[in-house]
């Protein structure tokens, strides 16, 4: 889910940019390495980026200053891992901010951190933990966990910026409130997104059995 333009104070925008930027830079380097290793990876990178862009552009109104939507990061993180997914997500988020007024430039760091870094990282852990038991279950879990973790982190970002009252207790109360509101839309969205990710990944494997996962 995206935090909209102008909703965060400058200090929070700078904070999330500082956290996200090194990961995105490393992800860009990893993309370069992937293409050098196998030029055919360009097509899979394009599919992964397109999946992120299209799904995360589908927004539903939610908490004031934000919105609920799929993230689309599950496919990329399964095929290429978390750092590449961070870079692809940053590109998708930048284009959405510029072309669709979805998210924002000032909040790009915060949105990249939640949707492109933390969400995919936990989705990747779920995939790694389950893939030896069942690939479809691992695919489903990675996409769902990446989506749901994103909404948890966005709730914390909003709570840190807008605590119910000063102090850590105020932050946690706000986070719980945001989580409760987001859950109404985000839980069903995560399930639908997970099914779409499984369908896409199974088709990729069916048409290109040689494709390996992260």
What is the rounded average pLDDT for all residues in the chain? 91
Lowest mean pLDDT among 118-122, 124-128, 144-148, 208-212: 208-212
Output the DSSP codes for the chain: -PBPTT-S-HHHHHHHHHHHHHHHHHHHHHHHHHHHH-TTHHHHHHHHHHHHHHHHT--EE-STTBEE----HHHHHHHH-HHHHHHHHHHHHHHIIIII--S-STTHHHHIIIIIIIHHHHHHHHHHHHTTT-HHHHHHHHHHHHHHHHHHHHHHHHHHHS-SSSSHHHHHHHHHHHHHHHHHHHHHHHHHHHHHHHHHHHHHHHH-TT----
Domain boundaries, the chain: 10-207
Q: What is the pTM (predicted TM-score) of this model?
A: 0.93
User: How many other CB atoms sit within 10 Å of the CB of residue 10?
Assistant: 8
Report the Cα–Cα distance between both ends of the chain, in Å, rounded: 25
Question: Looking at residue 186, what is its pLDDT?
Answer: 86
Output the DSSP codes for 109-153: HHHIIIIIIIHHHHHHHHHHHHTTT-HHHHHHHHHHHHHHHHHHH
Most confident of 2-11, 38-47, 95-104: 38-47
Mean pLDDT, to the nearest integer, of 128-144? Answer: 94
Q: Which of 154, 146, 180, 188 is nearest to 66 (CA)?
A: 154
Output the CA–CA distances (angstroms, integers) from residue 207 to 55, 81, 197, in the order listed: 22, 21, 16
CATH number belonging to the domain at 10-207, selected among 3.40.190.10, 1.10.4160.10, 1.20.210.10, 1.10.1760.20: 1.10.1760.20
Q: Which residues is 61 bridged to in the sheet?
A: 67
| Greatest pairwise CA separation for the chain in angstroms | 55
Question: Looking at residue 84, what is its pLDDT?
Answer: 97
Res 62 pLDDT > 70: no
Question: Looking at residue 214, what is its pLDDT?
Answer: 76
What pLDDT digit, counting tens, does each position of 162-214 carry? 998 888 999 999 999 888 888 888 888 999 999 999 999 989 988 887 778 87
Mean pLDDT, to the nearest integer, of 144-150? Answer: 96
Tell me how far apart the alpha carbons of residues 174 and 156 are, in angstroms, rounded to a whole number: 8
Question: Looking at residue 61, what is its pLDDT?
Answer: 61
Band (pLDDT 50/70/90 cuts) for residue 152 is: very high
């Amino acid at each position: 889910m995206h935090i909209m333009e102008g909703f965060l104070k400058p200090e929070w925008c700078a904070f999330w940019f500082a956290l996200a930027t090194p990961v995105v830079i490393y992800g860009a380097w990893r993309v370069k390495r992937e293409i050098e290793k196998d030029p055919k990876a360009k097509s899979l990178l394009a599919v992964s980026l397109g999946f992120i862009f299209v799904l995360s552009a589908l927004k539903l109104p939610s908490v004031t200053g934000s919105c609920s939507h799929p993230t689309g990061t599950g496919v990329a993180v399964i095929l290429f891992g978390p750092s590449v997914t961070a870079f692809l997500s940053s590109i998708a988020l930048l284009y959405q901010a510029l072309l669709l007024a979805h998210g924002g430039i000032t909040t790009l760091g915060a949105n990249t951190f939640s949707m492109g870094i933390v969400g995919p990282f936990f989705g990747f852990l779920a995939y790694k933990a389950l893939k030896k038991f069942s690939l479809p279950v691992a695919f489903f879990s990675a996409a769902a966990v990446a989506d749901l973790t994103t909404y948890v982190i966005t709730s914390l970002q909003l709570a840190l910026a807008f605590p119910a009252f000063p102090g850590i207790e105020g932050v946690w109360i706000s986070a719980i409130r945001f989580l409760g509101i987001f859950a109404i839309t985000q839980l069903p969205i995560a399930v639908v997104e997970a099914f779409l990710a499984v369908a896409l990944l199974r088709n990729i494997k069916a048409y290109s059995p040689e494709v390996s996962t992260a």
